[in-house]
């Protein structure tokens, strides 16, 4: 099956990326309509063990498991073209416009863009052109990140987000990087810088 963007990882950054991409549809932007997005997640996000007290806009004492579910629901509410698959990615091959994402269960998904957002504990996905280094912002040793151009691009069509991109291990920092990656992709499609703001409808 072919998607416009395949997101590897369904934690804070991956879901924030999916939400922002989904929110581009239904606005009359011809370049955005009909785009399809896939989130592949193995269920191991650190949010599953989190209790959030200091995330802006998130009620104090929110369980990470509850927030993950709300984020998935938000993405689906914004666009019916967001799919979720529970699986583990083992290989990403190809280039912009013709990526192939292979999973542990044997499925292969084609994509124009791929976003790596699988966390900073380790990176074992076979992927050409990826350089894995120590994560300098991790409070614990042994965590990793993928080198990028400073704006989350690893190479053409391939982006990295969240803790794997070297941001601090806070929900809002990770989510913000996922949003920025989505904006970068949308801007490439539009051929100009894009942001998405909504305002209340007037009576």
CA distance 45 to 65: 9
pLDDT at 203 over 80: no
pLDDT confidence of residue 25? 93
Tokens linked to 5: 């963007």
Q: What is the pLDDT of residues 75-133, one digit of tens each?
A: 999 999 999 999 999 999 999 999 999 999 999 999 999 999 999 999 999 999 999 99
Q: For 9, list phi and psi in degrees, rounded to 5.
A: 120, 125
pLDDT confidence of residue 127? 96
pLDDT confidence of residue 135? 95
Identify the band that residue 151 occupies on the pLDDT scale cut at 50, 70 and 90: very high
CA distance 142 to 161: 18
Identify the band that residue 139 occupies on the pLDDT scale cut at 50, 70 and 90: confident
Domain boundaries, the chain: 2-190
Angle at 127 between CA 119 and CA 175, to 5 degrees: 30
CA distance 152 to 186: 14
Taking the domain 2-190, which CATH number applies?
3.50.50.60
The answer to whether residues 119 and 160 touch, using CB atoms and an 8 Å cutoff, is: no
The number of beta carbons lying within 10 Å of the beta carbon of residue 203 is: 3
CA distance 149 to 201: 39
pLDDT confidence of residue 191? 97
Reported as type and span, the H/E element at residue 32 is none
Percentage of the chain exceeding pLDDT 70:
100
pLDDT at 202 over 90: no
Q: CA torsion sign, 160 to 122 to 45 to 136?
A: negative
């Amino acid at each position: 099956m072919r998607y416009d963007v395949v997101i590897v990882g369904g934690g804070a950054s991956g879901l924030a990326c999916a939400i922002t991409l989904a929110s581009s549809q239904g606005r009359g932007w011809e370049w955005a309509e009909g785009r399809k997005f896939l989130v592949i997640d193995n269920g191991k996000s650190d949010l599953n063990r989190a209790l959030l007290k200091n995330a802006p806009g998130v009620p104090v004492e929110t369980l990470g498991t509850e927030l993950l579910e709300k984020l998935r629901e938000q993405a689906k509410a914004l666009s019916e073209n967001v799919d979720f698959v529970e699986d583990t990615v083992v290989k990403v091959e190809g280039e912009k416009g013709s990526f192939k994402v292979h999973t542990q269960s044997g499925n292969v998904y084609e994509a124009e863009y791929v976003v790596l957002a699988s966390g900073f504990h380790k990176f074992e996905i076979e992927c050409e052109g990826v350089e894995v280094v120590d994560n300098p912002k991790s409070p614990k040793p042994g965590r990793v990140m993928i080198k990028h151009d400073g704006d989350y691009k690893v190479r053409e069509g391939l982006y990295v987000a969240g803790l794997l991109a070297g941001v601090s291990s806070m929900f809002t920092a990770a989510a913000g990087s996922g949003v920025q990656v989505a904006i970068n992709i949308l801007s490439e499609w539009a051929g100009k810088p894009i942001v998405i703001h909504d305002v209340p409808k007037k009576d």
